[in-house]
Amino acid sequence: MFSISADPIDVEGLLANVKDDSAGASILFLGTVRNHNEGYDVSGIYYEAYIRMAEDALSKIEAEAIKRWNLKKFAAVHRIGNLKIGEVSVAIAVSSEHRAEAFEAARYAIDQIKTEVPIWKKEVINNGKEARWAQGTPMGGG
């Protein structure tokens, strides 16, 4: 399960989506908006996505993670729109029989999201008076 959403991420619901009685491990990764980047004070972030392409890319990441680490379940959500400091911008939850596979799969998923999913972020700096597109990767930057 994956989605792109303008709504706040339901972290508890995401974790519930990967619950599986045969899993010995569940991992939840949260990416949050921080108050600085590359020497700038950040007061918020605006995320933009090419939604159809982003969903296709997320689907491929999900399929690869499930196959590679024999996951029980996988769920990911990435926010778009204006986010404040401390808000969750991306959440990934996975379950597997063993913890090592769950940790590796979650790490793989966030690394792939940042490099393969067409999501861009604009940082609001200097108390909302300026904005700049954050340096990122060729596709993603979230």
Amino acid at 2: F
pLDDT of residue 39: 85
Is 65 within 8 Å of 71 (Cβ atoms)? yes
Residue from 104, 87, 97, 116 nearest 2 by CA: 116
For residue 136, pLDDT over 90 is answered with no
Domain coordinates in residue numbering, the chain = 2-133
3-state secondary structure of 57: helix
Considering the domain 2-133, what is its CATH architecture? Alpha-Beta Complex (3.90)
Amino acid at 97: E
| Residue at token pair 């597109």 | 133
For residue 138, pLDDT over 50 is answered with no
pLDDT tens per residue across span 50-93? 999 999 999 999 999 999 999 999 999 999 999 999 999 999 99
